[in-house]
Structure 1
Amino acid sequence: MRHYTLSHLEAAACLWEAVLALRDRPESEPRAIERALAIRKSFDSLGAAALRLIVVGWTDAVDAAWYKEQESCPFSFDWSFVPQWLIDTVDWSDPCHPVIRTDGAPWNAPGCEHPATRTDAPSNAPAPDGRRDHLALLSRARAALEGLADFTADACDTLVEDIGHAQNQLSVSPLPWPIDVHVAAVEHRHGMNLHVALHADILDAQVAAYCREWWKEIGDGRDPHSLSDRDVIATYFDDHGQESCSTDRVTLEPRAMSDLPAQSPETGTYCVLSTAHLTVQTADRLDKWASWPPSDRPIDIAASVYGWFVPTRALSEERCAQLPKDLLHLIAFGRDRGFRFVLLDCDAGTVDDLPVHDW
């Protein structure tokens, strides 16, 4: 009988954890997403229990690879080396037989033909997939259009505004438009499993994987992998007296932008001016106002280490009457030049357009 050390058990646990992470939390990059879908197919085809035994069987291989490379690998075994080893080494092309590659080429790597791809078929770059890719695409398109001179000013402004609206909608809602999802609820003695998919056949594959995993409970001598997903599901729940499966199709509606709370922080620019553009009396006032409760201040300011942040937004006549003229000139200076704030700093330089006070 073979004996396993704690190191073997840890490597096996790290392998299984990494497989689950590659399946459930892929990076928003086409190859990572394709790999996650391939791993999901293996789960659907084999079931978690059978696939787990295959993955655990790679323990010696990953240990041997780590032994060769641990001196040159700057990262840890569990969260860095093992996932990368799976990415570089395991071929998930056949969902029923994920294997360690023997040619040294990573699965689906450049120059490594996917078994399902014909050699005479044209090679097309994959389309962007995932919210982050679409957001990046919209951001790039918007930036490009903002720099073009071929459109009329009005047409360009409208197009940029429309793309910005679409970008904002997608950034605050995962659903840019209504979609139908298929839902299945499997009730069993331990509780309930919920499965959700965008397509009915994918939902069937998820439920069928559950049925194949627990197939022995119905006493059917046939190999469940020899049956279609629909036949497996129908047979399992017809013969199992204590479990049931109900399905439904649900339409998910994105929330309107007006219904969503503001999620983007307010942004703006500021200019830095010397406190020498203020009189010593105004500087004393700003010091006092900064220590008052916000509701008592004649203007919203924030003290910094060497001065104050002052907003440049327009003020009512009543508020303007409470402010000294030198401060009003600074506020107008910043607002006229498109700045949202003025940072008054004792170490900043002066400008020719404003008076300078020696104090």
Structure 2
Amino acid sequence: MRIIVVGWIDAVDAAWYRNQETCPFCFDWSFVKQWVIDTIDWSDPDNPAIRINASGTDMTDNVTMAAQAGSKSPEPARPQITRHDHVALLARVRAALERPDSLDAAARATLTGAIGASESGLRVCALPWPIDMHLGIIEHRHGVNFYAGLNRDVLVAEMAEYAREWWKEIGDRRDPNTLPDDEVLAAYFNDHPSESYSTEILRLEPLPAVRSVSSIESGAYCVLSTAHLTVQTAGLLDKWACWPPSDRPIDIAASVYGWFVPTRPLPDDRRAQIPDDLQEIIAFGRDRGFQFLLLDCDADRAADLPVHDW
């Protein structure tokens, strides 16, 4: 929901300036509440959207908004690796260890890169390539049993153990321990109509993309950790958020996620009231083309900004 709501920032901003034409530092946050009531279609609570008018355009005069602006930057998909690829990589590593002089600098760099890519993939996802899970269900008078195996033989062997345990119920005089698993399974359920079993194959896929630990959520806004602020500055933001909009040195808003801070340049008199750490964060966002910052205690940290102890 946060991704959707912050995506409306451009639309609200444009509506305010279009209708009020007042100083941005006097922004009236009650306007946002009324804008949401008048403009947002909540017919689908899980996917609220700006209403479309009769002409087929949205209620914000085609202001770019929303999911596109508020979504996370797309990440490159991790190349699909197979078991064969991994085995081949291990063979290359073994050959390099056995004959280290056979590799020139370029070949060594290529091999090192391949090892690093494999290492990164395994760090992010314990499943490096697709695998087929064989699943089974046995329904009986006491409930349901679930089974899983990495191949059909393992699955059938597990399910056959159930059939052997209750073998006497079908009146078959053969010793189930001397019969193959497939035969035990078939014979038991053929002669036990009140119970049944089924199997299916579920393919498990690795994660489609690797997300860098240092990546930050961004769009028209940028989400940064509050660790880039000092405790004193955080206290000021809490205090300013309670003031009337016209009295604040900067036009901020508090939310359940953190503080929204605009990155637009400030007049000299207002900038003099802003602590250096907050000015640095604002400049960071403005230099990268963001209109707003959301300072969130759970957000990621940017490598280019200092971190403060709380």
* Bin of the TM-score, shorter chain as denominator length: 0.3 to 0.5
Which of the pair is proportionally richer in helix? Answer: 1
Taking structure 2 as the reference length, the TM-score comes to: 0.39
Task: Give TM-score, length-normalised by structure 1.
Answer: 0.34
Of structures 1 and 2, the one with the larger relative CO (CA 8 A, separation 6+) is 2
